[in-house]
């Protein structure tokens, strides 16, 4: 291929997987195929079209040319002609300061060890393309489930976005778009799951003043896949949490803390075990997040080691 780059693909890809690799919406690839002749050449044994390595190299070049300022029709003409030189040189993929690379819509997050799907998601977020973020995540959630998508794709991108903001003061728009788009996609994924089993609900919350509630939506989606009823309440004062537990007879309470408490007394306020109403049936009390790393919690509270661990703890409690 003229641009000499490999996408690292080992097997022909469907449109969803190919789009995830590039960080674009599947409809974008379908449009490029219909309008500009960049349809996939590979086929499965059953005759279904798939993008092979050569197809992916063409699509990557198309993306580079459009990023450098070429109109899509002109970019496609140059791709099919084997012209790999972007407008104005090769700035679209040249390394920028700090190991970041310039691309369409701004700076791409550095994810050198992440899988292609994570890099594709990062490119979509850097372009502030919420539609592509929705599409990539939606397909990944269906294909792999919430836990695998979170661990291998979503969390690395969110960490990279946070580090970029801490180190440069830039990219808060990317981080906010990711948070909003991911939350919406997770809600849609939950709505597509089978109806939860009957029984008591699990309440998911954060301490007062801790607004990092995205992990709560991730956990809710993972519980929905296990047919465990759950409700995201966001950050709540102690009195509101106590009221919610009393009114629902919750089978479990999960509290995510991003920031560590300032004192042992505040730790107790963040997870107010003694204030919660008693229950005849077992109730899971689970904490998660870096805020609990050095806190001394009541022995009745289990600190989850991962998303999968929290799901197991909360789904196992009789409802």
Class of domain 1-94: mainly alpha
Band the pLDDT of 248: cuts 50, 70, 90.
very high
pLDDT of residue 72: 79
Cα 185 from Cα 134, distance rounded (Å): 6
Cα 114 from Cα 243, distance rounded (Å): 43
Class of domain 202-316: alpha beta
pLDDT of residue 11: 76
pLDDT of residue 136: 85
Asked whether the domain spanning 202-316 has the same topology as the one spanning 1-94, the reply is no
Q: Is-above-0.75 flag for pTM?
A: no
Contact 107, 96 (CB under 8 A): yes
pLDDT at position 35 over 90: no
pLDDT of residue 170: 82
Task: Give the pLDDT confidence of 42-55 residue by residue, as tens digits.
Answer: 877 777 889 998 99
Contact 32, 60 (CB under 8 A): no
Q: Which CATH number is associated with domain 97-192?
A: 1.10.1240.10
Percentage above 70 pLDDT, the chain: 87
Task: Give the pLDDT confidence of 190-212 residue by residue, as tens digits.
Answer: 999 999 999 899 999 999 888 88
Q: Where are the domains of the chain?
A: 1-94, 97-192, 202-316
Contact 40, 55 (CB under 8 A): yes
Contact 217, 187 (CB under 8 A): yes
pLDDT of residue 84: 61
């Amino acid at each position: 291929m003229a641009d000499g780059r490999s996408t690292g693909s080992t097997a022909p890809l469907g449109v969803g997987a190919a789009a995830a690799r590039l960080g674009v919406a599947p409809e974008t690839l379908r449009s490029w195929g219909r309008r500009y002749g960049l349809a996939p050449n590979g086929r499965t044994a059953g005759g279904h079209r798939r993008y092979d390595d050569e197809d992916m190299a063409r699509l990557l070049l198309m993306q580079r040319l459009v990023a450098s300022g070429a109109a899509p029709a002109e970019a496609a003409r140059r791709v099919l002609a084997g012209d790999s030189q972007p407008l104005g040189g090769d700035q679209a993929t040249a390394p920028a300061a700090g190991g970041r690379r310039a691309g369409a819509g701004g700076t791409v997050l550095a994810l050198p060890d992440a899988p292609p799907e994570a890099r594709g998601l990062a490119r979509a977020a850097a372009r502030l393309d919420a539609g592509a973020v929705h599409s990539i995540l939606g397909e990944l959630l269906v294909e792999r489930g919430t836990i695998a998508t979170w661990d291998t794709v979503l969390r690395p991108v969110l960490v990279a976005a946070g580090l970029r903001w801490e180190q440069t003061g830039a990219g808060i728009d990317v981080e906010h778009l990711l948070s909003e788009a991911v939350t919406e996609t997770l809600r849609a994924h939950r709505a597509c799951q089978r109806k939860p089993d009957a029984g008591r609900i699990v309440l998911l919350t954060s301490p007062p003043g801790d607004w990092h509630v995205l992990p709560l939506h991730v956990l809710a989606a993972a519980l929905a896949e296990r047919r465990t009823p759950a409700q995201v309440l966001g950050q709540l004062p102690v009195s509101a949490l106590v009221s919610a537990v009393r009114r629902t007879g919750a089978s479990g309470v999960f509290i995510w803390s991003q920031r560590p408490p300032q004192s042992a007394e505040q730790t107790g306020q963040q997870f107010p075990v003694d204030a919660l109403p008693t229950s005849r049936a077992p109730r899971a009390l689970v904490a998660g997040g870096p805020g609990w790393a050095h806190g001394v919690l009541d022995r009745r509270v289990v600190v989850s080691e991962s998303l999968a661990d929290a799901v197991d703890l909360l789904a196992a409690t009789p409802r």
